[in-house]
Amino acid sequence: MARVVLFGATGYTGRLTAEAMAAAGARPVLAGRDRARLEALATRLGGLPVAEADTARPASVRDLVGPGDVLVSTVGPFLTRGEPAVRAAVDAGATYLDATGEPPFLRRVFEEHGPRATGRCALIPAFGYDFVPGNLAGALALAAAGEPLVARVTVGYFVTGGGGFSSGTMASGAGLLLEPGFAWRGGKLRRERLARRVRAFPIGGRDWLGVTYGGSEHLALPRIAPGLRDVEVYLGWFGRRSRALQVFSAVGAPLARVPGARGLARAATGRLAGKTGQGPDADARRAGGSLIVAVASDAGGRELAQVRLRGPDPYTLTARLLTWGAQRAAASGVPGTGALGPVDAFGLDALQQGAAAAGLHRVEA
């Protein structure tokens, strides 16, 4: 079995992932910039190996992996800190997974790093709550509807039970306010700002609102269904504040074109990211949950199929999915190379089994 390296192991998502990996019987190398914290975590988890690396010293990240290894990165915000890990994986010929939910970084992995990785290794970004469930639900909806008939897949991500966000999520989210997003529309990937559209999803007798967002579904689903004209991904985290976020996005769009504005936003993000390792406690996570909806429609807008998935809170789900993906890649490898979506990387049947092992199950619509 290949060696697994978890980079960012002492952050909030990294720590949960380290715990999930240890619980699954894996012995990953725990990597990060603070040796004392790494060793404390490694001791608590049964004496796991550790390695010191810092994104400010890219060579130290490159030294983490060799050919055939599996590198799992939870180091964020990915826009400011994610580049060294994906570069290290490509240079070494290592399989790469990460926990990003940041559209500009996700697109960079597919469009810039993916071609470099082709023929060398597999890059599988956003392998957590962002955006495995939507890819899985979308693929299942395509299969249920009969792929050639489907012109549009619409995905909605929702959380239940509250619980709040980690410090890393807050830092990443703040950094996206002025960054460009994207969507698959009219058979092409097009630039589109965050929250340009708002949609209501009727669930349980009421409307759940979501705002448009750039997920890996836009990049990955058209690969498995070339006839898709439109893919829409909605984040339903904001409830009734979705309309306000849409207005804020429209007002902020001209600001993003001001020279230096994005640089200032990223600098502010860097300060927010200084508070690492904070997030919902175990009780809050147990009280929370995930709900993902995918709707397949024909060219006239008629619904052909709907798939709903329920699972644990986003952070627990992310840790478990990264654990399954890393173990699967380490034991069996990944058939493809380049930048891959979840279905590309593992196949629909295996991905559905892995999601079930992570606690993500299909429920009646």
CB atoms within 10 A of CB 26: 17
- Here the tokens at position 12 are 């909030």
Q: Does the pLDDT at position 195 exceed 50? A: yes
We report the CATH number of the domain holding residue 257 as 3.30.360.10
Q: Which of 160-169, 172-181, 306-315 has the highest mean pLDDT?
A: 306-315
Question: For 149-160, how does the pLDDT look when each residue is reduced to its tens digit (9 = 90+)?
Answer: 999 999 999 999
Q: Are residues 281 and 330 in the same domain?
A: no
Q: Are residues 165 and 309 in the same domain?
A: yes
Report d(CA 350, CA 343) in Å as an integer.
9
pLDDT tier for residue 365 given thresholds of 50, 70 and 90: confident
pLDDT tier for residue 32 given thresholds of 50, 70 and 90: very high
pLDDT tier for residue 240 given thresholds of 50, 70 and 90: confident
Report d(CA 302, CA 296) in Å as an integer.
9
Lowest mean pLDDT among 78-92, 131-145, 150-164: 150-164
Give the pLDDT confidence score for residue 268 in this predicted structure: 46
Range of the domain at 186: 132-313
Cis peptide before 131 (omega within 30 of 0): yes
Report d(CA 74, CA 14) in Å as an integer.
6
Q: Are residues 261 and 357 in the same domain?
A: no
Q: Are residues 13 and 123 in the same domain?
A: yes
We report the CATH number of the domain holding residue 107 as 3.40.50.720
Over the chain, what is the mean pLDDT? 91
The structural domain count of the chain equals 2
CA 86 distance to own-chain centroid: 14
Q: Are residues 289 and 164 in the same domain?
A: yes
Q: Are residues 95 and 240 in the same domain?
A: no
pLDDT tier for residue 261 given thresholds of 50, 70 and 90: very low
Report d(CA 249, CA 246) in Å as an integer.
5
Q: Are residues 123 and 222 in the same domain?
A: no
Give the pLDDT confidence score for residue 256 in this predicted structure: 47
- Which of residues 294, 313, 332 is at a domain's end? 313
CA 157 distance to own-chain centroid: 12
Q: Does the pLDDT at position 165 exceed 80? A: no
Q: Are residues 233 and 304 in the same domain?
A: yes
Name the residue with tokens 């990294």.
14
Report d(CA 280, CA 286) in Å as an integer.
10
Give the pLDDT confidence score for residue 243 in this predicted structure: 84
Name the residue with tokens 């180091």.
75
Report d(CA 128, CA 130) in Å as an integer.
5
Q: Are residues 225 and 252 in the same domain?
A: yes
Q: Are residues 91 and 154 in the same domain?
A: no
Q: Are residues 159 and 280 in the same domain?
A: yes
Nearest one of 185, 174, 126 to 152, comparing CA atoms: 185
pLDDT tier for residue 239 given thresholds of 50, 70 and 90: confident
Rg value, the chain, Cα: 19
Q: Are residues 138 and 40 in the same domain?
A: no
Strand partners, 292: 157, 309
What is the arithmetic mean of pLDDT over 118-126? Answer: 98
